[in-house]
Chains A and B, each alone.
Chain A
Amino acid sequence: MRKWKAAFVCASGALGLIVAVAVHSQQPTSQKSRRSANTGSSQENSITLPQYPAEITPGPNMEVFSKDCLVCHSARYVSMQPRFPKSVWQSEVKKMIDAYGAVIPEGDQPLIVDYLVAVKGIETPAATPTK
């Protein structure tokens, strides 16, 4: 079998639901996609965003990463990155909290860093003197 497909839909997290409702409430009701909308006499342009299910790399604390991070962005924000040392991932998590207002319990933060290091980490260049 060439393709491994394990797709399963799970109950939405409460926070995700709130966000979805918040975003939807700002939009007019029509969700109909009209590719050539806003030409001619049409007064409304509307698109429906396609679903490109994100590829979530399995790793330790994957469920913590999913719960705390995917509220705001898809897992591709991680999967598109090259590998980085732990210090970079620590600062990225900190940035999400301090700058972007991510709601991440303190105890979860090192768990998320561990996940990111596991899936996209790299050894910090060795500081040992050359022989």
Chain B
Amino acid sequence: MSDALWVTHIFRWWGGAVGNANQELTYMRGRRRFLSTLISVGGFAALSPTLGYTLDLSIAPDLGAPPAESRARELARYPQKTELILLTDRPPQLETPLNYFRTDLTPNDAFFVRWHLSGIPTTVDLQTFRLEVGGRVSKPLSLSLSDLQSKFEAVSVVALAQCAGNSRSLFEPRVPGGQWGNGAMGNARWKGVRLKDVLDAAGVMSSALQVGLRGLDVPPLPKTPRFEKSLAIDHARDGEVMIAYEINGAPLPMLNGFPIRLVVPGWYATYWVKSLSSVTVLDQPLKTFWMDKAYRIADNADANEEPQHLAPVTVPIGQMSVHSIFVSPDPDESLHAGQRYQLAGVATDGVAGIRRVELSKDGGQTWSDATLGSDLGKYSWRLWQAQWTPPEKGTYRLMVRATNNAGETQRTSQWNRSGYQRDVIEHLDVVVL
């Protein structure tokens, strides 16, 4: 399969389209294979007594030639959320369909969900919930939500939350992990208190090196490492890192970290610990799988590596890099020559803010500026749009690239073993009839 075809294929898949004509065909193929396998396996009844779950095969299992990617992605509705793309149900990983990326702020009920461990909080009683602030501090604190709201100055910021593995499914060769399309991100106005103010109230000792951050989620097994992250003490006290209790003017949905979560503007959301329950000031680096083994990138300028030549040294992922995506046209949309269309999408960045978005309709030979949407600050994403009238029938390769206020732009090729920090120039092959 050529690169162009492959990319078209991927875009068709992650576009969030449901129920196109190919689905039925795929379903029938899958079912036929399923039937033949069922016979060869020797029947389920013999297996069933050992299983501790409900087996529901109403969806044809993926057994052969048609890759899972060719099927419509299943939608699911979780509490306090609208219908989102179901990556996994336990623990839940829910992706935002691209049609929600047409507004500056992502609706709370459409905001993506990503938990690591199956023991996630489903009930929080604010009368007993406390954020514990301890470790190398002179005065440990135990703060209720109302303590946070009444004893500290409220601040707000518009900031993009983006999973480190957003767009992972676009990497080629493919890599294991959550197979996100472009919807593992969302832009929101967060309100809360500065982590700095809380740390100052606790009195950080001079020996402090890091803060360790934990939430209410718990591991399923005794030896599973509890999810926790660390930030350098100077970062934690930069006045930007926030303990947020509101998203877009409302309490956090439970699945997005009720009642409080960390907001680390400009940094990948792996640090945005949900249902934050403890902040521990450390005088030693935090030793945890989640910093030492997971969420790490190649220690070179581009965070790039090759499958046959993995980078020997890795470092924890940090700031988001510059990226931009198409939201419109829909990959399955048929365009017609001579008609005018609005191309649209979002451009994302870490800590500088987006200053320019360019489009190409000829595979990168020529570029023109797109119109930028509102500037909601350096930590916000930025919408872009452009008018386009395809002059004649044929296949067009649309491309989009963004530049931030620091002059950084996107690269033309990228790969890493974990599918993190996607920032390559994306393209969309469209057929004009």
Q: Is A49 interfacial (CB-CB < 8 Å)?
A: yes
* Contact A4–B90 (Cβ < 8 Å): no
Question: Smallest CB–CB gap between B122 and chain A, Å?
Answer: 5
Collect the chain A residues with CB atoms within 8 Å of residue B176's CB. 81, 84, 88, 92
- Chain A residues contacting B338 (CB-CB under 8 Å) are none
Would B62 and A46 count as touching, CB distance under 8 A? no
Docked Cα-Cα span, A83 to B64, in Å, equals 10
- Give A16 to B58 CA distance when docked, in angstroms: 24
Interface residue ranges of B94-138 to A (CB < 8 Å): 117-127
Given the interface pairs A5-B57, A119-B62, the reply to whether A54 lies near B118 with Cβ below 8 Å is: no
**Chain A min CB distance to B26 (Å):** 14
Judged by DSSP, the binding face of A is: loop
In the bound complex, CA of A11 to CA of B372 (Å) = 57
In the complex the two chains form, is A13's CB within 8 Å of B123's CB?
Answer: no
**CB contact list, B187-237 vs A, under 8 A:** 218-225
CB neighbors of B among A59-86 (8 A): 59-60, 62-63, 66-67, 70-74, 76-77, 79-84
A contact residues around B53 at 8 Å (CB): 9-10, 16, 53-54, 66, 70
- B79 contacts A33, C-beta separation under 8 Å: yes
Point out which of A22, A31, A52 has the most chain B C-beta atoms below 10 A from its C-beta: A52
Within 8 A of A (CB), among B51-87: 51-63, 67-69, 74, 76-80, 86-87
How many of A's residues come within 8 Å of B, CB to CB?
Answer: 68
- B50, A57: Cβ atoms closer than 8 Å: no
For chains A and B in complex, what number of residue pairs have CB atoms within 8 angstroms?
A: 212
User: Looking at B58, B60, B89, B179, which has the most chain A CB atoms within 10 Å of its CB?
Assistant: B89
What's the Cα separation between A51 and B37 when bound, in Å? 27
- Pairwise interchain contact B258-A45, C-beta atoms closer than 8 A: yes
Contacts of B74 in A (CB 8 A): 52
What is the size, in residues, of chain B's interface with A at 8 Å between Cβ atoms? 72
The answer on a CB contact under 8 Å between A99 and B56 is no
Q: B52 to A13, Cβ gap below 8 A?
A: yes
Q: Is the CB of B119 within 8 A of A23?
A: yes
Flag whether A128 is at the interface (Cβ < 8 A).
no
Assembly CA distance A83 to B174 (angstroms): 9
Q: Which of B63, B68, B80, B91 contacts A73 (CB 8 A)?
A: B91
Contacts of A10 in B (CB 8 A): 48-53
Contact A101 B31 (CB under 8 A): no
Beyond A12-B52, A50-B79, A80-B87, whether A38 also contacts B57 by CB under 8 A is no
Q: Is the CB of A6 within 8 A of B79?
A: no
Q: Is A123 among interface residues, defined by CB-CB distance under 8 A?
A: no
A130 within 8 A of B: no
| Contact in complex: B57, A35 (CB < 8 Å) | no
Tell me whether A19 and B86 are in contact (CB under 8 A). Answer: no
Q: Are A27 and B123 in contact (CB under 8 A)?
A: yes
Additional 8 contacts, C-beta under 8 A, given A39-B251, A53-B53: A11-B49, A17-B52, A31-B123, A49-B90, A56-B61, A58-B63, A92-B176, A119-B63
Q: Which 10 A-B pairs have the closest CB atoms?
A: A101-B223, A47-B79, A53-B56, A12-B52, A52-B89, A74-B90, A13-B52, A46-B123, A76-B88, A57-B61
Interface residue ranges, B against A (CB under 8 Å): 31, 34, 37-38, 41, 44, 47-63, 67-69, 74, 76-80, 86-92, 117-127, 169, 174, 176, 178-179, 218-225, 250-251, 254-255, 258-259, 289, 293-294
Chain A contacts to B: CB under 8 angstroms: 3-13, 16-17, 19, 22-23, 26-28, 30-31, 33, 35, 38-39, 43-60, 62-63, 66-67, 70-74, 76-77, 79-84, 88, 92, 99-103, 119
